[in-house]
Structure 1
Amino acid sequence: MEETAQHARVLTDDDATTYAGWFKALGDPMRVRLLHLLASEGRPMAVGEITDRLPIGQSTVSHHLKVLAEVRFALPERSGTSNQYAVNAACLDCFPAAVRAILGQP
């Protein structure tokens, strides 16, 4: 165990700030559910479609999507006059790597 800690990379201030932002964005259970919905669907979804699938109103869905988009967990795609949102596939690699870095694992 000691050897693993010796090989862990240093957690920079920038990394710590980024990771804290990610966890803050996931600090709301509805945002976790929303991200799960986007990931499960595996395709861009319109706000109205998301609203139909979750027990919250459109303005709340839009707010949660804005928070998730700010940390790049959700990516907006322009579709005519509105946006559709898809999960950022890079999160599948980046988020587990962040957890390992926070825990001091290589």
Structure 2
Amino acid sequence: MDVSRQDAETWAPWFRALGDPSRILILNLLATERRAMSVGEIVEALDLAQSTVSHHLKILGEVRFVLVERVSTSSSWRINERCLSCFPSTAEVVMGRIPAGVSPWDEPASTDRTGRRT
């Protein structure tokens, strides 16, 4: 077995975060737009309630699939670019297609415009 218990415990929340169609739609939108978007923009693009989008962004942020950028009193959300390459590799490790050795990314959960942790 290539996957350690520690890796399984790290990766399980990632897969759980994808367990809702709205979260998949939000991730897809942010990944294809390739820019930070406000909650309002996401609401408009996906025709979801603001509270629904906020709830799902919180869950996606907890596993760092998305990162928040805070400027003054507004927040924008963007895809964590590292998940675009890391997550598919993780899925391949779990499915036994490639050897273990993928580690979680270490980008801060939220940054300001200069890239500093907030």
Q: TM-score, normalization: structure 1?
A: 0.86
- Structure 1 segments (4+ residues) deviating >4 Å: none
Computing the radius of gyration over CA atoms, which structure comes out larger, 1 or 2? Answer: 1
Q: Which residue of 1 aligns with 2:63?
A: 71
Normalized per residue, the structure richer in helix is: 1
Could you tell me how far apart the structure 1 residues matched to 2:72 and 2:42 are? 18
Of residues 41, 46, 59, the one that matches 2:51 is: 59
Number of residue pairs matched by the alignment: 98
Provide the rounded CA distance (Å) in 1 between the counterparts of 2:74 and 2:92. Answer: 37
Question: Which region of structure 1 is more displaced relative to structure 2, 89-98 or 25-34?
Answer: 89-98
Displacement of 1:10 in angstroms is: 2.4
Q: Name the counterpart of 1:12.
A: 4
Determine the C-alpha separation between the residues in 1 that align with 2:78 and 2:36.
Answer: 4
What is the aligned-residue RMSD (CA, Å)?
Answer: 1.2
Unaligned runs of 5+ in 2: 100-118
Structure with the bigger RCO (C-alpha within 8 Å, sep 6+) is 1
Q: 1:24 Cα shift?
A: 0.4
> What amino acid sits opposite 2:13 in the alignment?
G
Gaps of 5+ in 1: 1-8
